[in-house]
Amino acid sequence: MSTVEQQSADISRNGGGDGRTFAVDNPATGETIAHLPDMDAEQVHALVARARAAQKAWGEASFDDRAAVMYRARKWMTDNRERIAKTVMDETGKTREDAFIADVFTTADALGFWAKKAPSYLADERVRTHAVLAFGRKLILRYRPYGVVGVIGPWNYPIANCFGDAVPALMAGNAVILKPSEVTPLSSLLVLEGMRAAGLPDDVMQVATGTGETGAALVDGADMIMFTGSTRTGKKIMARAAETLTPVSLELGGKDPMIVLRDADLERAANTAVYWGMANGGQICMSVERIYVEEPVYDEFVQKVVDKTRQLRQGKPGGAASVELGAVTFAPQVEIIERHIRDAVDKGADVLTGGKASNGPGRFFEPTVLTNVDHSMEIMTEETFGPTLPIMKVRDADEAVQLANDTRYGLNSSVFAGDPDEGERVARRLTAGSACVNDAVINYAATELPFGGSGESGIGVRHGPGGIQKYCQVQALAVTRFATKRELYHFPYTKTRSGLLERMSVLLYGRVPRKYRNRR
Ligand code: NDP
């Protein structure tokens, strides 16, 4: 049975299903490629109930048992890479390389990473205390899975940004319900097939297909929500989760700056800007969305970026290396890109190359470079999420830093400098959650490093120890092994013991340490 058929069967097993469906299109051709059930709240709650039942045994399984499933899933992904890449390409319109690098390669890497790291990241931690009253106790911090984690994902990387977040949640012992974007649900259904083939017990991972309403129902039912998507929806989810005090982790939008200093390697900076501005059609939360270049090298840098952008090939993706840019996955995104460019041009910007959507079939937007831009323009302040590179001239590094930090977002950022130490000094002044020197986005590949946004780019992190600990309730244990019959502070109160406690507090807290005595 195919996963799409399985999904329909699951719906009838839930007892719900009024037959509502939604269509999935191929953005590169305009063709409808599937119809899937649009799950209502009752159906989602039925999935949650099944997940809750299945989680018990999964949560009690050893890390090794769970890791075995993840490694088998990794092999399944590798064996089925062509099928996976094709499914991702069909529903996103992205190139084979974009599908392969992030959705296959990165996710396969994540399966092994969390399988290996979960035992150490989630190991019980022995805590030593400074507190006199708690001396002698065995103090333990332990991680216990929440139960049912809802993972709500966007359409730009339908596997990496949806199932990718399920991997640590599963390794921590949770059951997971994926709610993929209604634009790109087929990839999640395919991965579900892979997890079943890898031996994941029934109902430990399920997929709730549907629209925003389906996601909202999952927020009501799950014990924890991992959300990746727009800042607007992230705020709605946090408000809804507040009603049940459900913890959330939010990976939201970005407007990532790149700074190019006068002594930078301009060839490398331009190559990086064009790649990370245009890769995946610019539909990356941490793509380079705006560039600040020091005056003496501005013209040369702009020329390089324009030349390189003009060489990019765009069209319906085929086999390996067929095109560099694919389609715009989500139809309304074209209007956002057009609006940002129109607003910039109305306020005095120049379009040096690109600038418009191409005629169908399929949905494409030309790779675009703009200059004479400033912060009165949406293209410099709002997330465009398209193949656009607006470049602004700055006097010096100080002005670049001030402009880079002039944003409500704070996801990723990059600095190009001839002197890497100077680059690092500038990077440390940026308010974004991550910063790269003489590179962009590469921090994300180092899964040991936490990745998360500041400001309106999110709350919580993926990757690093925090990327799996967030799927757990922290339980603090204090075990008293050897003790007297009565503590100093127990009833009944006596003058002797009250006096002793008071003298003890004066002894412990009644002086400023020598090092700080004369410090003002
Ligand atoms: P959206 O916020 O529109 O949607 C994300 C998911 O939320 C979709 O599955 C959507 O369902 C669902 N959803 C919509 N409304 C609700 C609701 N009220 N309650 C629960 N779920 C809901 O984001 P996009 O899909 O448009 O993705 C693009 C955005 O994602 C960009 O802003 C990008 O920056 C961000 N992003 C952030 C990343 C990060 O790591 N920080 C990584 C990748 C993308 P449906 O699609 O069916 O409406």
Structural domain contains residue 268: yes
Lowest mean pLDDT among 51-60, 66-75, 352-361, 427-436: 352-361
232 and 112 inside one domain: yes
79 and 224 inside one domain: yes
Q: Which amino acid is at 36?
A: L
321 and 248 inside one domain: no
Question: Distances from the Cα of 348 to the Cαs of 288, 298, 372, 373, 431, in angstroms?
Answer: 22, 18, 7, 7, 28
Q: Is the pLDDT of residue 520 over 90?
A: no
Structural domain contains residue 193: yes
At 15, the pLDDT band (50, 70, 90 cuts) reads very low
Q: Is 251 a catalytic residue?
A: yes
Q: Is 178 in the pocket of ligand 1 (CB under 6 A)?
A: no
361 and 469 inside one domain: no
Q: Is the pLDDT of residue 9 over 70?
A: no
Structural domain contains residue 516: no
Express each pLDDT in 255-282 by its tens digit.
999 999 999 999 999 999 999 999 999 9
Phi, psi of 404 (to 5 degrees): -60, -35
Nearest-CA residue for atom 42 of ligand 1: 285
Structural domain contains residue 508: no
Query: Cα(185)–Cα(182) distance, rounded to whole angstroms?
Result: 6
Region 114-136 average pLDDT: 97
Nearest-CA residue for atom 9 of ligand 1: 181
**DSSP assignment of 125-189, as one string?**
EEE----GGGTT-EEEEEEEE-SEEEEE--SSSTIIIIIHHHHHHHHTT-EEEEE--TTS-HHHH
Cα of 231 to ligand 1 centre, how many Å? Answer: 8
- For a mutational test of ligand 1's pocket, the pick from 20, 285, 411, i.e. the residue with the most ligand atoms closer than 8 A to its C-beta, is 285
Cα of 153 to ligand 1 centre, how many Å? Answer: 6
Atom number of ligand 1 nearest to Cα 211: 47
68 and 13 inside one domain: yes
Q: Is the pLDDT of residue 471 over 80?
A: yes
Tokens of 477: 């244990």
Cα of 228 to ligand 1 centre, how many Å? Answer: 6
Cα of 127 to ligand 1 centre, how many Å? Answer: 39
Q: Is 125 a catalytic residue?
A: no
Give the residue among 99, 40, 110 at the shortest CA–CA distance from 70. Answer: 110
166 and 299 inside one domain: no
Q: Which residues constitute the domain of residue 235?
A: 3-252+464-473
Q: Is the pLDDT of residue 6 over 70?
A: no
At 327, the pLDDT band (50, 70, 90 cuts) reads very high
What's the total number of domains in the chain? 2
Nearest-CA residue for atom 38 of ligand 1: 285
Express each pLDDT in 430-457 by its tens digit.
999 999 999 999 999 999 999 999 999 9
Q: Is 257 in the pocket of ligand 1 (CB under 6 A)?
A: no
7 and 89 inside one domain: yes
pLDDT of residue 12: 53
Region 96-116 average pLDDT: 97
**CATH of residue 207:** 3.40.605.10
Q: Is 25 in the pocket of ligand 1 (CB under 6 A)?
A: no
Query: Cα(520)–Cα(514) distance, rounded to whole angstroms?
Result: 13
Q: Is 230 in the pocket of ligand 1 (CB under 6 A)?
A: yes
Cα of 299 to ligand 1 centre, how many Å? Answer: 37
Give the residue among 53, 357, 393, 371 at the shortest CA–CA distance from 203. Answer: 53
Region 314-323 average pLDDT: 95
Structural domain contains residue 511: no
Strands 175-179 and 205-207: parallel
Whether the CB-CB separation of 161 and 184 falls below 8 Å is answered with no
Residue of 91, 97, 251, 366 with catalytic role: 251
Q: Is 236 in the pocket of ligand 1 (CB under 6 A)?
A: yes
211 and 302 inside one domain: no
